[in-house]
Chains A and B, each alone.
Chain A
């Protein structure tokens, strides 16, 4: 029966989009992090989505989604001259994280919309299943 397939596929989307919301939360929380070393500073994390290769060898091959990896992305963060800062390096510089908060807010909206869409699809499939079960009653 394929309505269970809807549950499986939408379920995979819920998991994937939760990871996305997680990375958004992590990025926003760490947006003001500074470091005395350009290599150590927090960098924006983004999930890379991929279509599930072969879930259960379905004949019609409808596929769910999975987070393939979470990558650190974007250009290097801002470098600030702050010689009085505790973390300043030998040249008096501190390094900011490269998180773009505006971009992250937009990502958050996209992630929550994607999540809602899958919940909606799941709900509809559930209703159809329940109605099918009460057939002939």
Chain B
């Protein structure tokens, strides 16, 4: 049985990267909570997962619109629950909840990666 290190670690590494990027986006929302006209954004994990696992259309002409990263493709603007005077759509409570949830998901991937690395080390050492 061949152990493919890359494929074992790659999924969770991708997960870490996705959640790190999302953390940045949510931090930008939190930072701009008082900026007039700022529109809060978020990414949809389901869409990101689908685009990541789907076959890509080839971009074989330089004028083709690039599909860019999976992350960009799954970005959307938040629907504000309530209109604000300065047309800012950041709902602080929602952003904080999303940020905390995102941090926990990041830690989940870390934990899994950590377990896998430790397991592999154990197998390599054999003691």
What residues of chain A have their CB less than 8 Å away from a CB belonging to chain B?
Answer: 1-3, 5-6, 9-10, 12-13, 16-17, 20, 48-51, 59-60, 62-65, 110, 114, 117-118, 120-121, 124-125, 127-128, 131-132, 135-136
Taking a contact as CB atoms closer than 8 A, the residue among A2, A3, A64, A136 that contacts B31 in the complex is A64
| A residues in contact with B99, CB < 8 Å | 121, 124
- Of the listed residues A1, A12, A59, A60, the one surrounded by the most CB atoms of chain B closer than 10 A to its CB is A60
A-B pairs with CB below 8 Å: how many?
104
Give B37's nearest chain A residue, CB to CB: A51
| A65: contacting residue among B23, B26, B31, B96, CB under 8 A | B31
- CB contacts (< 8 Å) of B2 on chain A: these are none
**How distant is A110 from chain B, measured CB to nearest CB, in Å?**
7
Give Cα distance in the complex from A136 to B24, angstroms: 25
B103:A64 contact, CB within 8 angstroms: no
Q: What are the 6 tightest A-B residue pairs by CB atom distance, in nearest-first order?
A: A13-B31, A136-B117, A5-B24, A62-B28, A2-B20, A2-B24
Taking a contact as CB atoms under 8 Å apart, the answer to whether B110 and A124 are in contact is: no
A10 touches B20 (CB 8 A): no
The residue that A10 contacts in the complex, of B31, B106, B114, with Cβ under 8 A, is B31
User: Which of B26, B34, B114 counts the most A-chain CB atoms under 10 A from its CB?
Assistant: B34
**Count, chain B residues at interface, CB 8 A:** 36
Known: A2-B21, A124-B103. A62 touches B27 (CB 8 A): yes
Q: Are B106 and A128 in contact (CB under 8 A)?
A: yes
Taking CB atoms, residues of chain A closer than 8 Å to B72 are 59-60
Q: B residues engaging A (CB < 8 A)?
A: 16-17, 20-21, 23-28, 30-36, 38, 68-69, 71-72, 75, 92, 96, 99-100, 103, 106-107, 110, 113-114, 117-118, 121
- A6 and B23 contact, CB distance less than 8 A: yes
Rounded to whole angstroms, the CA-CA distance of A82 and B77 in the bound complex is 56
The answer on a CB contact under 8 Å between B35 and A1 is: no
Q: Are A13 and B30 in contact (CB under 8 A)?
A: yes
Whole-angstrom CA separation of A80 from B24 in the bound complex: 52
Q: Which of B32, B34, B69 contacts A110 (CB 8 A)?
A: B34
Q: Chain A residues near B114: list those with CB within 8 A.
A: 135-136
Task: Give the Cβ gap from B23 to chain A, nearest Cβ, in Å.
Answer: 5
CB distance from B108 to the nearest CB of A (A): 11
- Do A6 and B35 touch across chains, with their CB atoms under 8 A apart? no
